[in-house]
Structure 1
Amino acid sequence: MDTLRGRLLVATPAIDAGPFLRSVVFILDHDGDGALGVIVNRPLDSDVDEVLPSWGAYVNAPVCLFDGGPVAMDSALAVGVLGDGLPPLGWRQMAGRVGLVDLEGPLPVNGEFAGLRVFAGYAGWGAGQLEDELLEGSWVVVDALESDLSSPQPEMLWREVLRRQHDDVRFWATFPPDPGAN
């Protein structure tokens, strides 16, 4: 399988519980050893200022931590979309203008990032695990927009990403939260 780096995984209704229910995952890395990504549509109640006081002024609204996934929830991971200038110190490219930001490195200068989010934890898959989940129909792979990483309404992202697809996948956007109550 080709790399999924820089693409989105959108949870299908086959995932009906757990941390990936209606999740949208941006894939940061994917190769024969596995995959790593962050859930981009799960804002948490904690503000970035509470955990990383010097970084709060640089993240996009909503200015909160995001639940990046069930792995290493006690660690922070920052993802930045480059602005129009040169890459800043502490930024490592993952896909296009999207990269990891070193939270122990220098603070960004205004305009270096078009978008910046801080995640508690990440999503990870071992070798072949994600491919098996794709075969089971748990995920749909779609193209990512840079704006997906800094959506001002991340809780709406699952439906928005599905709606913009050009095939029958777009109809899943109308899938009720509890099909048994429909």
Structure 2
Amino acid sequence: MKDLEFNIFDTKLPKIEPMKGRILIAEPFLQGPYFNRSIVFLTEHGDEGAVGFVLNKSSDLYPDEVIEDLFSFKGEMFIGGPVSSNTLHYLHTLGDRVPGSIKVTENLYWGGDFDVIKEMINSGVADHHSVKFFAGYSGWSPGQLEEEIKENSWIVSTLDDKTIMEGDVDDFWKETMANLGDVFKMWTNFPENPSNN
């Protein structure tokens, strides 16, 4: 047997620190209904831990089916993560027109006055291109995310705001991973369960 001179899991990607506004890309074999082949957008990261939302796990529900007085919203309801799955969260590009919202990137905001969001949607000022709804969220206690990154469960990267809001859910993980380079392109072809190979 000949030893290979390279390791397809030994990536040369520069280490990027997790922080608010960055994304986490799940490694190919990370299991579980929430994080399997997921892309998580971090809205908070600091001494108290991290908070984020899974961008590419849609539910079978639409927000106007479950939110009272919300009319004809064409976007899907996404599953933000395993924490408090009965709570509603939202990212938006409406800025400080929504009181109480938290700026995450240059154009993306998290939360804020829900009645204002509803009114803007119902009046046609906002739509599924400018608001993204999530049931639940992803959370990490202090140091937990850093440990998972050391274990290579996540790759930290960045995405532009438009892709975060409007990326194609079905191919989101595959395309984002492939855009990191050739080694990662190979990762996209791995079976989700290696024992099925």
For the criterion TM > 0.5, the same-fold answer is: yes
TM-score of the two chains, using structure 1 as the length reference: 0.84
Partner of residue 16 from structure 1, selected from 24, 31, 53: 31
Pair 1:167–1:5, CA change in 2 (3 A): farther
Name the residue aligned to 1:25.
Answer: 40
Higher mean displacement: 16-25 or 108-117: 108-117
Name the residue aligned to 2:181.
Answer: 166
Greater per-residue strand proportion:
1
Contact in 1 for aligned 2:23/2:157 (Cα 8 Å): yes
Pair 1:3–1:16, CA change in 2 (3 A): closer
Name stretches of at least 5 consecutive residues in structure 2 with no aligned partner: 1-15
Contact in 2 for aligned 1:80/1:117 (Cα 8 Å): yes
Q: Deviations over 1:8-47 (max 9, x none)?
A: 1011024133421111100001011110000000000011
Q: Does 1:87 align with 2:96?
A: yes
Identity %: 27
CA-CA distance at 1:167 after TM superposition:
5.5
Give the whole-Å Cα distance in 1 for the aligned partners of 2:28 and 2:90: 29
Give the whole-Å Cα distance in 2 for the aligned partners of 1:179 and 1:166: 22
Counterpart residue type for residue 81 of structure 1: T
Name stretches of at least 5 consecutive residues in structure 1 with no aligned partner: none
Name the residue aligned to 1:151.
Answer: 166
1:30-179 equivalences under 5 Å are: 30-55=45-70, 57=72, 63-82=75-94, 87-90=96-99, 91-102=101-112, 104-106=114-116, 107-108=119-120, 110=124, 114-151=129-166, 153-166=168-181, 168-179=183-194
Contact in 2 for aligned 1:3/1:31 (Cα 8 Å): no
Greater radius of gyration (CA): 2
Higher mean displacement: 6-15 or 72-81: 6-15
Pair 1:56–1:156, CA change in 2 (3 A): farther
